[in-house]
Structure formats: structure tokens, C-alpha cells
Amino acid sequence: MGPYEYVVADVFTETRFEGNPVAVFLDARDLSTGQMQCIAREMNLSETTFVLPAKFDGDVRVRIFTRVNELPFAGHPALGTAVVLAGRHSGDLLRMETGMGVIPFELDRSGSHAVSARMKQPVPVWAPYEHARDLLTGLGLASSTLPVEEYRNGPRHVYIGLPDIDALSAVEPDLRTLARLPDMAANCFAGKGDHWRMRMFSPAYGVAEDAATGSAAGPLAVHLVRHGLISCSQQIRILQGVEMGRPSTMIATVFGSPDQVDSVEVAGSVVIVAQGTLQI
């Protein structure tokens, strides 16, 4: 079978070899679920995406795989895929079918190619995290500056606040302890005003540390709105991946009110770095 054409793009950056890379397979119609999972392991990135014909009212359908499982939605691979597909798609709006429904993307074009995009994410649902003490122990932390809460918009993200950037950079998680907490990504954050920093650890999703977690950027903004650290409609910049040597910048905005979130938007830039084919 094959060859199968793919593109590798660095997401949430304007600089090659920074941001978070994603591999995008442009026509996956002949691939089984098992083959997609094997390919994701072979690519050895935090996520790999597979583009399929739309089933409903979207322009395309996309399946997203980590090294170990399929995700119904994830931010950096979805946004990276949207920009990769922009060269094959006319117009400035791309509607992507995912396991969490149709995600609309506004494409910012430079000539015939999009260099950035803005996505309207699923509005997350939230609750207190039931294993907060075990999570803090696994992160080597005594406490969190805000309540330890979980947000689900596909993946389950849990948020732990640090008092400052130095404390954030000093976090050294026990990944074996975190791996015992199923279906969870731990997101440590610090900052103030319009500028925030984040680190994400998720051995449960096959990612020791992530350079840019787009699906966590929107819920982080919701978390900050709900606890009064930012206001609705305030655009914030979230820097991630610094400690990994792959700095990434995500722009997040929450619309509505602290009690009623109407929509969540996340934006960022993408750089295409490689193209190739894979044989099966």
C-alpha cells in the first residue's frame, strides 16, 4: 500500500524547529485505525493526523493520534493540519470534522498559503480534580495557587498554579507517578495580566512534556477567567516549551462571562518544515 504523502509542520511558532511539530497525512482513506496508530508510533511526535473526506457538513474529517491512543480533539495538531490544508482549500474558513464535532478555522493567508489560523474550540466542561493530592505529589509540589480543577474539551486537562516563572521552570515531575493517573494531562502555569507561561506533562497520553498544547490553552484562559485573574474578551499570550528549547506562543480568548462561557478561541502561527512519503 502507499506511498502516503505527509507534511511535517511546526505549530504555534513562526520559526522553524521551534513550536510543536505535527505530521499530517494528506489522504488516509485506505488506512485502518490500527495502521494509523502504528504510523503515529513510527513518526514519534506528540501527535500525528490523518485527513479523510468529510462525512457531514465539514470540509474535511481529521483523526488525531498520539503515540499510544486516538484523541477526539487536540489543539496543536488540528491547527497545524488546518494550515497545511490551506494550500489545497479555497477560502478563509475551513470546517474540520473531529471527534468533538466540527471545528471552524479562520485562515490568515499570505499569498496562497495560510501562515496562521484561529480556531473556535469546544467549550470545556470543568469540575474539581479528584486526585489533586496525588497529582501535586507527582509534580513535587505542596500546593496550587488556584483550585486544582479538570477541564475536558476532548482530552482531560488539569491545572496547577505556580507562584512565579522560576517556580514553574523548576518543576521536575515524577512521570511514573503521573502515569498512574489515567486519562489526564497536568498543566502547570504561572504569570499575570496578558502574559502566561505553561508546562504540560502527560505520560497517560504518551507525552512526557509537550512543547505546545493548543487544547489546553483555551481551558487555561477559562480557568483564569473563572477565578478572576483575567476578564472575558481579554486576549492572552501563553508561552510554552521554553524549558524544552522549543518555545511556542498561543493566543487565547474567552467570550461570555465567568458563569457562562459562550466560546473559546485559540490562534497561532505554523511553519511547514518537511514533506515526504511513507510506504506500508
Does residue 70 carry a catalytic annotation? no
Q: CB-based contacts of 227: which residues, under 8 Å, 6+ apart?
A: 146, 147
In single-letter form, the type of residue at position 53 comes to: P
- What's the gap between Cα 51 and its chain centre? 17
Point out the catalytic residue in the list 18, 47, 97, 265.
47
Q: What is the DSSP string of the chain?
A: ---EEEEEEEES-SSTT-SEEEEEES--TT--HHHHHHHHHHHTSS-EEEEEE-SSSSSEEEEEE-SS-EES--HHHHHHHHHHHHTTS-SSEEEEEETTEEEEEEEEEETTEEEEEEEEEPPPEEEE-TTHHHHHHHHT-S--SS--EEEESSSEEEEEE-SSHHHHHT----HHHHHTS-S-EEEEEEEETTEEEEEEEEGGGTEEEES--HHHHHHHHHHHHHTTSS-TT--EEEEE-GGGT--EEEEEEEEE-SS-EEEEEEEEEEEEEEEEEE--
d(C-alpha 276, C-alpha 232), whole Å: 42
| Residues belonging to the active site | 47
